[in-house]
Structures are given as C-alpha cells and as structure tokens.
C-alpha cells in the first residue's frame, strides 16, 4: 500500500495554496481553520446553489485494515460515501461512482479511480525530501509527520493567542465562541490536547528513537534531549497561565497584560519547537541508515512508538490528524497498517471513521 504519484516540491506547492486560501477566508476564529480547509469536502455541506456531491458506494471487509484506510481517505473528497460491509477477498474492494460501472481492485486502485474523478485534494502523493535517494525508514517518517501536525497546531494556538491579546479578551470574534471566558476555556482545552500530544511525542523519541542512535554513537542525542528539558517548563507554564487568566476579570489591564504575556510565551514555544524539529530532521534523522536496522526492527520501533503515544492514537487521534494535509494523514495511516499487527491497526483506524 505504498504511496504513489510522487511529485517534486508538491509539499511546498500545496503549503503555498493553503496560505493563499487562508487569506481568502472571512474573519474566522483560528481554532476553526484546518489544513484541509483549502479544499471542498464532504465534511462541509454544499451551498444551496451548488449540486449535491456525487454518491460513491464502497464494498469492503471491515476486518481488513485497508478498508478503514480507504474510508478515511474518502472522507477528504467532496462526495457522499455509502459503505457496505462485505466478505471481500483480502485487500480487494468494489467501488461504484454514481452511475458508472463498478471498479474492483486494491485500495490503491479504487483510490486512484476516485482521484481521476475528483482530483482535489490529492491523497496519494508523497512529499519528496532531499534525502529521498536513501532507503525509507518508517519510524523516521512517522516522527516527521508528527512534527508536521504539532507545528500546525502550535501555529494555530499561537495565532489564536495573538488574536486574544489583540482583542484584549473582551470582544468575541463570533457567537460560536460564546463569551470571552467561554472562548478562553475552549482555548485552554485545545492547548491541553496539544500539550498532551507534545509530551507523548517527546517521550516516544526518548524511549524509542534516541536509544537507536545512542546505541550506534553514544551521546549522539544529548543536545536534543536537553532541548526537551528546556521546553518542558515553558509548556507547563503556558498551561498554568491559561488557568490564571481564566479567573481574571475580562478587559481589565491585568487581564490584557496576562494575554499579551501568554501570546509571547506561545510564540517562544513555537520558535523553540520549530528549531528543535528542524535540527532533528536535518541532522539526526538522516543518520538512521547508519544505524543499520532491519525492516522488522523499523516496524517494531513504529509499534513501540504507538504504544508510548497512547493518547495521541486514541482519543486525540482525530485532533492529531487534523494538523496534517490529506495526503499526509493518509500516509500516516499507511504507516500504521504496514508496521502494526492487524488488530491494533484496525483499533486505531476505526476511531477515524466512526
């Protein structure tokens, strides 16, 4: 189930599209803007003036992890999906696009067919890296995609914090956020999810990835471990600051000053994480080839990573996936299917299609 349609610089191209689209979005609370907002999809109802989305029927075996992979990918497309459980042969599916003849085949076959009908958003592309000539290492790619999601969520809460500070915490941006105190409570809840995912990611690196490098070169990961220790007080301090602001009277000088201080802390955390992730991806992760792990050891490392990051891959899984572009999210599920046993993979992916 490897990804296909590789195109150089596609990642940068769609990031640029995302930035352009975000400039066109009407005044909107930062908590509501997701990477996939640049595309129309079946997550949002079509305006009355537009025709309804095409109906797609999918038949597949619910006991097959690839079935959940396909269903999850189709959620990003502007279509109305009807799923019919069936005892299909392993890794085979039948898909019917409106009144067209049914198409049968593997998960890649049916997704490619849907891509030909509805090309946006692309699901089967893969970001090309400078070191793509080297073998692919699943545990490294997993960590990279986690970086993408967490950086997007960090940028979102930083924008949101800056927006709160600019408004002084006394003006609501839209009725759906409620009163300023209600909005701050939502903000704290969102940051709490991000904090939990960040802490689990750091634990995963310390318990799974860094020992692989240290076994090959003792002390190799000392500096990145120190960065984890450096950022922990900042992350916890932000959580406590949000609680403190919640008891202040909205709009008062103390309240406004606290919001500005919170915004500055978030920007500092965002800067630190960006530098930390860049350091790992440019100077550490490319050394994985020298560690000489077998593919079985790589798969085991991915499974161990998921075990460490229990919350991220359970109740926080939809939140985590929200921070990825559609093709990145599908690639992440692909990694889980290829590196975990069948039952574990199904238990994780089922969360995304319920």
> Could you tell me the pTM of the whole model?
0.84
Quickly list H helices, the chain.
Answer: 10-24, 65-74, 107-117, 138-167, 180-204, 210-216, 222-246, 253-279, 295-308, 317-322, 326-339, 342-353
Distance linking the first and last C-alpha atoms of the chain:
22
In the predicted model, is pLDDT for residue 349 greater than 80? yes
With tokens 């999906």, the residue in question is 81
d(CA 200, CA 310): 8
Q: Which one-letter DSSP state was computed for residue 82? A: E
User: Three-state SS for 45?
Assistant: coil
pLDDT of residue 13 exceeding 90, the answer is no
Nearest to 125 by CA among 81, 73, 56: 73
Please report the pLDDT score of residue 48 as a whole number.
61
> Distance between CA 88 and CA 271 in Å, rounded?
49
Q: How many whole angstroms separate alpha carbon 97 and alpha carbon 95?
A: 7
Q: What's the pLDDT band for 141 if we cut at 50, 70, 90? A: very high
- Mean pLDDT over the full length of the chain: 84
Alpha carbon distance 120, 23 (integer Å): 19
Residue 133 has pLDDT above 50, yes or no: no
Q: How far apart are CA 208 and CA 101, in angstroms?
A: 48
């Amino acid at each position: 189930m490897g990804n296909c349609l590789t195109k150089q610089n596609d990642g940068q191209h769609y990031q640029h599209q995302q930035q352009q689209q975000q400039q066109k979005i009407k005044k909107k609370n930062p908590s509501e803007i997701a990477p996939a907002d640049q595309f129309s999809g079946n997550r949002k109802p079509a305006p009355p003036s537009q025709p309804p989305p095409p109906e797609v029927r999918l038949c597949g075996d619910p006991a097959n992890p690839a079935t959940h992979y396909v269903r999850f990918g189709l959620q990003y497309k502007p279509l109305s999906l009807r799923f019919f459980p069936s005892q299909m042969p392993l890794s085979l599916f039948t898909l019917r696009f409106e009144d067209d003849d049914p198409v049968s085949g593997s998960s890649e076959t049916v997704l490619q067919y849907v891509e030909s009908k509805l090309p946006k958003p692309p699901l089967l592309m893969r970001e090309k890296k400078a070191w793509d000539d080297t073998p692919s290492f699943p545990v490294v790619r997993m960590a990279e995609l986690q970086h993408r999601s967490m950086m997007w969520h960090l940028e979102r809460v930083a924008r949101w914090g800056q927006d709160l500070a600019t408004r002084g915490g006394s003006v609501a941006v839209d009725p759906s956020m409620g009163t300023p105190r209600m909005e701050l409570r939502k903000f704290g809840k969102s940051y709490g999810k991000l904090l939990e995912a960040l802490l689990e990611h750091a634990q995963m690196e310390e318990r799974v990835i860094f020992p692989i490098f240290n076994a090959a070169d003792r002390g190799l990961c000392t500096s990145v471990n120190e960065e984890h220790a450096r950022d922990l007080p900042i992350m916890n301090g932000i959580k406590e600051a949000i609680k403190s602001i919640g008891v202040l009277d909205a709009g008062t000088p103390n309240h406004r000053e606290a919001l500005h201080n919170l915004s500055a802390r978030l920007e500092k955390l965002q800067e630190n994480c960006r530098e930390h992730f860049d350091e790992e991806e440019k100077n550490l992760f490319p050394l994985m080839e020298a560690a000489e792990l077998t593919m079985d050891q790589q798969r085991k490392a991915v499974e161990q990573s998921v075990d460490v990051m229990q919350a991220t891959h359970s109740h926080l899984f939809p939140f985590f996936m929200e921070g990825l572009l559609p093709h990145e999210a599908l690639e992440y599920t692909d990694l889980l299917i290829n590196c975990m046993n069948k039952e574990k993979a199904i238990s994780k992916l089922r969360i995304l299609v319920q």
